């Protein structure tokens, strides 16, 4: 089976051409292929299919075998892959995902692609859409949550997948490998959640670390960056556009007047190969 390995700010993915390749068990394939010791190594397995409602369909399976509804970094990688490999000559591409239609746009400097800008859609704040337990129409903004006798103040945002954002003075001081899975699996999140710890640098800059649902610590998270900007605006900490400083690099996020989130960042191919 032919594959290509891509990364967006170190958030890495194995891309499969679903037009030519059939995988009978995507869960087991993702677990095996994403293993960093015995496999190719990646945060997720992404397969591209034909779509009846968009230019293409994108399926994302996390490294633990669970399916992700959406992934911003994977979207950028897929868009550039499709264009550079002759699947389309469009520079604005529609992708069908479990979270709805996503539209990445290739940004050029002359003939060279320098970044990908993605319309990530609108954030959802109602607890029923996160989802969270409790009052379905209520918003969770700066609400206390106690884990192992430690109180955190959380803001919950859905970007097609659930996010829990926590503001702290120093993100590097957080033991993410310890608290991440406890928050991800907290009973208030029936479908689990992605966990973002955010540090405000100034009104246009946020430093963030992420524990991704189904993948653990990753170097970047596109939907998490969008959710973090939304949370920072709702908590009156930044303006509606900001640079997100992540372990793998920077993303520029804008919460526009049409209520859509726009994410701009890089996507790069790492290598190609054959899975035996």
Of 224, 201, 226, nearest in space to 211 by CA: 224
State the catalytic residue, choosing from 71, 164, 188, 226: 71
Listed in sequence order, the residues at least 6 apart from 10 whose beta carbon sits closer than 8 Å to its beta carbon are 218, 219, 220, 247, 248, 249
Q: Is the Cβ–Cβ distance between 220 and 247 less than 8 Å? A: yes
**Is 142 within 8 Å of 149 (Cβ atoms)?**
no
Question: Token match 């190969």: residue?
Answer: 273
- Among 34, 140, 188, 221, the active-site one is 221
Q: Is 226 a catalytic residue?
A: no
Tokens, residue 31: 């677990």
Could you give the CA distance from residue 121 to residue 102 in angstroms, rounded to a whole number?
A: 7
Q: Does 164 qualify as catalytic in the annotation?
A: no
Active-site positions? 71, 221
């Amino acid at each position: 089976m032919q594959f290509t390995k891509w990364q967006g700010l170190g958030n890495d993915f194995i891309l499969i051409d679903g037009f030519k390749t059939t995988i009978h068990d995507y869960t087991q394939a993702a677990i095996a292929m994403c293993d960093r010791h015995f496999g190719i190594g990646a945060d997720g397995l992404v397969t591209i299919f034909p779509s009846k409602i968009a230019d293409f369909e994108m399926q994302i399976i996390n490294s633990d075998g669970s399916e992700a509804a959406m992934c911003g970094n994977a979207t950028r990688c897929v868009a550039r892959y499709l264009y550079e490999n002759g699947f389309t000559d469009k520079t604005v591409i529609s992708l069908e995902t479990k979270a709805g239609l996503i539209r990445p746009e290739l940004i050029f400097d002359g003939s060279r692609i320098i970044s990908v800008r993605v319309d990530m859609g609108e954030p959802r704040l109602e607890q029923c859409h996160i989802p969270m337990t409790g009052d379905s129409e209520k918003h969770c903004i700066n609400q206390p949550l106690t884990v192992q006798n430690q109180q955190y103040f959380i803001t919950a945002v859905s970007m097609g997948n659930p996010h829990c954002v926590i503001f702290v003075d120093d993100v590097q001081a957080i033991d993410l490998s310890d608290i991440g899975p406890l928050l991800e699996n907290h009973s208030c999140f029936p479908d689990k959640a992605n966990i973002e710890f955010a540090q405000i640098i100034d009104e246009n800059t946020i430093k963030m670390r992420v524990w991704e649902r189904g993948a653990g610590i990753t170097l970047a998270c596109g939907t998490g960056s969008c959710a973090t900007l939304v949370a920072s605006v709702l908590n009156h900490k930044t303006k509606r556009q900001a640079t997100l400083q992540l372990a793998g690099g920077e993303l520029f996020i804008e919460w526009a007047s049409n209520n859509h989130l726009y994410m701009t960042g890089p996507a790069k191919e790492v290598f190609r190969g054959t899975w035996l």
